[in-house]
Structure 1
Amino acid sequence: MTAGTELDLETEYNNRARVPEHPAILEAWRRDAAAYRTARAPLARLGLAYGPHPRQRIDLFPAEAEETARPVLLFVHGGYWQAFDGSSSSHLAAGANARGLAVAVMSYRLCPEVRLAEIVDDVRQAGLFLFRTTHRPLVVFGHSAGGHLTAMALATDWKALAPGVPRDLVRGGLAISGLFDLEPLVETSINGALGLDREMARRLSPLHRDPGRGARLEAWVGGEESGEYHRQSRAIVEKWRALGASTRFETVPGANHFTAVAPLADPASPMTEALVALAGR
């Protein structure tokens, strides 16, 4: 790889540099998430432990008029597997909650304290915890690194992972600004905390996994995001469709990497409609 290509990849994946106003957006996330937790306090079940680590926690937001025969939605936050937790994303449950769907917002351990494979395991353990707690299947959705973890959850053989769990525990996934091919990150500064080599990056890339026939994946990306983010989402949609999955690529017009998730808070947005469709009737 040439120095020029390395510089291009650094630019393509450095979302904070691409969006200079990101501090104000992130502060709005924190403010809106805290307000939503307060508003939902009578119903919400906060800080549910799915493991012993302080970050292995789930905030569960039931809907007021919940359709309990439908899946629970599990949201997985972003941050390049090395930043944030679920507390900055609580408000993103608003759209689905208003449509009668329960939403769980999870946190997970971060790199470099743990390796990326252990974060994938955190999502699986959170999924098993929710199934054992609610006795309902899941739809997983996530942003950025959470989009990667969404696809990894969808490609998991849940029945092989734990006895008594249905193979199709995850009924569908919606990945927003996701990362599905990790090999380009190996030569960027992002990998300083991740510690990936090329073999490990390929093994942990959902692009190179078979989700099984009938899997359902929506890949959304902000219209103003870098070409690499568009390539990543298009690539998994095309690859998984060829393997027999039902896939769709969509853009959020005018959105950057940080504003692409905003439609989740709107019960009438096309993105929320996609979640409702994944949850079925």
Structure 2
Amino acid sequence: MTDWDDAYANGAYIAGADDFPPRWAERAADWRSVEHAIGRARLNLSYGEGARNRLDLFLPAGRPTGLVVFVHGGYWRAFDNKSWSHLAAGATARGWAVAMPCYTLAPEARISEITQEVRQAAEKAATLVEGPIVLAGHSAGGHLVARMLCRDVALSKDVEDRLQRVVPISPLCDLRPLLNTTMNEDFQMDTAEAEAESPMLEKTPRDIPVTVWVGGDERPVFLDQARWLAEAWPRAELHIADGLHHFNVIDGLEEPDSPLTNALLA
């Protein structure tokens, strides 16, 4: 019998897992403070009425080529946008603006409500920067950006027309297995919501290129989740990054010429 809590546990299988969150936060704070000091960061912009409905916008040195929206992970229950600011470095060095939204966490919000907050954040960010839009997200954030291509998510025509690519990184695309975890005490999902919030079950996703990115050393269920989405959607391709696990698979976003940044801005 499958132990679903263990199957979806990442930290227990990553050496030095407890060191990652403080290191992320410190690196993000250092980078954000520099960008703010030189006038290339607009912080805590409101996109909705909730206390956590805020986003940070990081700008390149010149006129932006377009907009990247990066949505953080944490199983919809943890973190905020402030731990990831440094991951905007690669795209801003390439001339793109990067918006990083925060959102209400479970159990205060249901996953379906978080999906709508991310839609609001993307719409707001799109009013701040012209040009093509790329959506990227990690883990739960990968789920949330994939949801933006589902037909029940009511994107404006402007945002839909400007969407260039979506990059779910180590995403959760089928939420039905999570019904079997203790995390569902926070999610409070039933089968109907789990199905409605599972991108891989969308039969006619928006016609946008998708690159599903996952670390080769991730837990088997995350490799499965990535494959399921790539197989379900006709315009999705799968990239398995050898030697990377769930916590360091996002590191390439810091570098302007990394394979991940190149995939993002392809």
The TM-score, its normalising length taken from structure 1, stands at 0.89
Q: How does 1:224-235 map to 2 (within 5 A)?
A: 224-235=217-228
Counterpart-to-counterpart distance in 2, 1:36 and 1:253: 27
- Describe the SS at the equivalent of 2:265: helix
The residue aligned with 1:180 is 173
Q: Tell me, yes or no, if the aligned pair for 2:97 and 2:129 is still in contact at 8 Å.
A: no
Q: Could you tell me which amino acid in structure 2 is paired with residue 186 of structure 1?
A: L
Q: CA deviation at 1:14?
A: 0.8
- Residue 249 (structure 2) pairs with residue 260 (structure 1): yes
The residue aligned with 1:46 is 43
Q: How does 1:51-200 map to 2 (within 5 A)?
A: 51-66=48-63, 68=64, 70-156=65-151, 160-162=154-156, 165-200=158-193
Counterpart-to-counterpart distance in 1, 2:188 and 2:217: 29
Deviations, residues 10-50 of structure 1 (Å, cap 9, x unaligned):
22201122225111111110011001101111211000000
Moved over 4 A (4+): none
Counterpart-to-counterpart distance in 2, 1:248 and 1:22: 29
- Residue 51 to residue 105, structure 1, CA distance change in 2 (3 Å): same
Counterpart pick for 2:239 among 245, 250, 255: 250
Q: Tell me, yes or no, if the aligned pair for 1:131 and 1:137 is still in contact at 8 Å.
A: no
- Describe the SS at the equivalent of 2:141: helix
Superposed CA RMSD: 1.7
Q: Tell me, yes or no, if the aligned pair for 1:157 and 1:167 is still in contact at 8 Å.
A: no
Q: Could you tell me which amino acid in structure 2 is paired with residue 256 of structure 1?
A: H
Deviations, residues 235-254 of structure 1 (Å, cap 9, x unaligned):
1111101xxx2x21112221
Q: CA deviation at 1:214?
A: 3.1
Q: Percent identity?
A: 39
The residue aligned with 2:195 is 202
Q: CA deviation at 1:177?
A: 0.8
Q: Tell me, yes or no, if the aligned pair for 1:78 and 1:143 is still in contact at 8 Å.
A: yes
- Describe the SS at the equivalent of 1:40: helix
Q: Tell me, yes or no, if the aligned pair for 1:30 and 1:87 is still in contact at 8 Å.
A: yes
Q: Could you tell me which amino acid in structure 2 is paired with residue 255 of structure 1?
A: L
Q: Tell me, yes or no, if the aligned pair for 2:123 and 2:159 is still in contact at 8 Å.
A: no
Q: CA deviation at 1:167?
A: 3.4
- Residue 264 to residue 211, structure 1, CA distance change in 2 (3 Å): farther
The residue aligned with 1:218 is 211
The TM-score, its normalising length taken from structure 2, stands at 0.94
- Residue 236 to residue 27, structure 1, CA distance change in 2 (3 Å): same
Give the aligned length.
Answer: 264
